[in-house]
Chain A
Amino acid sequence: MTTALKWIVLVEAVGLLAFLSTWKLLRWLPDRGYCASKILGSLLLGTLLWLGASWSLLGNGLGGAALALLALALCAAIGAKKAIADGILRSWLRDSKGLVVAVEVVFLLAFAGWCLVRSYDPAADHTEQPMDLMFLTAVSSAETVPPEDPWLSGHPISYYYLGYWLIATLGHITGVVPELAYNLGQATWFGFLFAACFGFGYNLFMLRSGRREAMNQGVAAGVLSGVVVGITANLALPIDLISRRLAEGSSPLLAENWWWWRSSRVVHDTDFTGGSVEVITEFPFFSYLLGDNHPHLLSMPVLVLVATLALNVFLAAARGEAGALLPGRATPWRRLSAICGGTPGLVLVVAVGGSLAAINTWDVPTGVALLVAGALAGLLLAGGRGTRLGSVLLTVAFASVVLIGGGFLFLPYHLSASSQVQGLVPNLFHPTDIRELTIMFGTLFPGVVLLLGSAWSSETRARRALLCWAGIVVSGIVWLGAAGWVVRGGGGGWLSHPDLPQQSLGTALERWSGGWGSFLVVSMLLAIALEVLWSHLVSESNDAERPTTTFTVLLAVLGLGLVLAPELLYLYDSFGTRMNTVFKFYYQAWLLLGCVAVQGILVAWSRRGKARGGALLALCALLPGLVYPLPALWSKTAGFSAARPTLNALSYLEVYRPEEWEALRWVKTNTRPDSVVVQRSGGSYRPEHNLVSIATGRPTLLGWTGHELQWRGSAYGELAGGREQALRDIYNPVSSEALAEVVRSWGVDFVYLGPEERSMYEVSPAHEDLLYRGMELSFDNGTVRIFRRRG
């Protein structure tokens, strides 16, 4: 309890510092960025420490984190000095008391609530949670940046690790160990997501409303945004329940083990033998329920933060100081920075945008698209202040600054990261079933449609929308045809197809002939959204709602584009399927379309008449999505039945593997963070295989091999070559001299001999005797022995 309190006090303080730092920069937003400052604070703090550590200016620990905090405090002092002196800040706080209280209540409730949930299900012992904990312990104890990969000693982590770093930074200051920080961090990020979505919904509503008195409704809009994005599920559970009820004799769904998992696999691709190909369709609540602190979970609030910055950019460009953007009346740099409200604003956008690459690279295209599209839309909306060509050129310059600046700022990450993406694959064989797509987005689409309907104005042309739809459909067909033709000949460079050499294009036609529904429906919605967007951009109307509607429709365009994209192409990774592309794109689409749906409902509700009926219907469509959370929570936590709730992710070891737990504590206390502690090589999803690296972050020769293969791609063979054999040579030595030689040549400091190693390598007494002779026994509790390299 005290630990959680200490933790949340720091998070709140850091958020406040971020708010004060960006007070002036986010002045276009009705909440001045207060809601998004929760995640922004932790992001800036962690990034400052990471940058400092990358350039050896700061140590990765309490001292470095404290100096980063000091730097943030300095920024806050500079950023808010004038506002405090002039009393503007005080007056804003007085006027926005309701908002501040509401967002704090939402944030703290989400944090406390998720702490409660995690305390009944704390163990990081299933799916990829051990891997997430391993990364957290590794970055927490790393003395250098990039941190060493605990499952491939001698090589840096080849994964998006900045999210773990952010949690570790909070842990450094509060003195919270990684196994506790794992669950506290997850609860904090749940709160961040709620606060960020709350702020985004609130800002859009208040901008549309334009009345300060509407704050209570704005708060309601914010809460609804948080609930729709963070709690609502897809329709898989209600549909399963209904279908089971209709089918006689079937067993009750909720009695099945891990029934809640099914909602994350609603799209089913099939291979050429009729077998199922796994496609992940997670949504935010499922990710939290599962409890993996994965990059996509950690990047969620950051993506909403980027959307908030994009809104600020959009408003700054659309409402910027008159003349500031006029060519000839301002320097190119001033015109560029004016898009973000000044040079510090541009730096902020570059830093936050650039961080996406190191938190979850999959979010980079969407994040950059949000910022760039926001800027372009704002400039076009400003109309008279410049020509369209000028706006486009300025946007190109802005995009270049964001991309190059972000890349340069996070250069140390890019230099050490290797991509697992091997190319681009045209989706010739797996069109999404329209029913499955409906199950996935059925709760959100009605709200989106409602928004497009509400935004349809007298200047919107159905014929143009139709032409646009035709254009998209034809482009899609041309893309699939042309790309299919190219890869038919083997492909080349980035364009390839893992299945095509064996399959004819006829099979592709056959599959598409029965599965065009999703493509046509989503492309139609996209075409409508594009036409509505265009009509708003070129409109001469002075409607006060126009800017907000334009930005909301822009979000809809991006969200629908993300849903459409996996129909046409996917990234070729080590799985060779579109599993990850669908997963990551749908996930981002959920965030954007969730916010759009809420705005659609609110806009329609404000129109009265038939529109209000539509709003009610769209609201009702959300309700089935709320069936899932409570029973899923009950099932995952075994009915909240734990006798001793705890937030310690490793508490299960104390109970079930006490001897190994004792050995792990010894390793943590008595070895340096970069000591190579050899364990057996591990099978994916098996924490017991690599407990040392998971619990202590100490590197071993080879951890979960399957995952290393995923992260390293084609380089895996070269990087991991000889390690399996070295492990066998260590655990089954032929002589003490040979053992000493292999230990020396692989830079091994300690050898961990536990039950898993004895079992996998069949370590005999003779082998142990050679370990005694060739190394030094440093720890022994009967179950685990740890040997140290001589010298």
Chain B
Amino acid sequence: MKFQASQSSLFSAFQTLATIIPTKSPMPVLMHFLVQLTGKKLVVTATDLEISMETQLEVSGEEDGKALFPARKYLELLRELPDVPIHVEAADNGRITLTAEGKNYNLASENVQNYPKVPSLEKVEPLRLSQSQLRRMISKCSFAVSRDELRPQLTGVYAKVSAQELRFVTTDGHRLVKIGYQHNGYKGAALESIVPAKAMQNAARLCEREGDIEMFFTDKQIAFRVGPTTMITKLIEGRYPNYEAVIPSDNKNKLTLDLDQFQAAVRRAAIVSNEISRQIRLKISADNVEILVEDIEQGNEGRESVSCSYAGEPMDIGYNAAYVLDVLKQIDTGEVVLDLGTPTSAGIVKPTEQEEKEDLLMLIMPVRLN
């Protein structure tokens, strides 16, 4: 393989992938960039086996081929070279040579045959949507992701794509977020997958600009592409719990509250609540909600009322204040609607009005009062 390109273009391309390269690994090949040249197209890949990143750049190619570049040494050398055309050559014996204006460096490398297979996206149909929409969806559902590694499926974001809708679901068993978006069209097969939370976080970081992002759904991976850069990430194995079944359909008690008032009241109550359990109690009647809090261990207590409109049975229900605040934070409308069933069953929390093409629904489980 032989090509030539400017120091700046090479450095910025390799630099974007540098974060993926593990600093230490029992697999030495992973501490290398995989570099493939076809004609003028140079494809650079890095992987830690969980997340792979790939970027492309145009070079003046001389001889096609592929090779591994030792990441740290190569990148540091590149950084220290002046911005001049650099000639790069990978010999059959695996040695990498950099030549620039009489400077000549020769690096040892690993056998390219030992590099893990790079998943191909060539035949996969992308879903296209705006970066801001994806970022918004991720930020709305992120708080409910579970940290319980014993239920690995819950530590991810459930993502379902169909011809009409992209849907994300997250839950930790105490709260649940379901957010759907009517996209502009997707020709690929409908697919469900569970995306590791970390990967979603990285995807949100890709969504920094105005343009669109492409998502690729496959059996083992999900990929996000912005411009020349693609991030491919492994999925979590297993089945997501049946979230549809736990969304109540017959919650008859409808409570509507002013968001700011309610939020402020809960925040005050939370201060006085027990720092560990965060327990608060809502006494709901026809036109007002009384918020009661008592921390026996510290000897603190408090109460206040917020006016509301309520259609349903009077109810006395306990919540973890932090959960209530988390959920309220996702509401963008002036009022919030709670559809409640019983003091021990899931309550639905929604904005009074959905954003265009969007459908946001949250569940919150109460705490049973003794």
Do A and B bind?
Answer: no
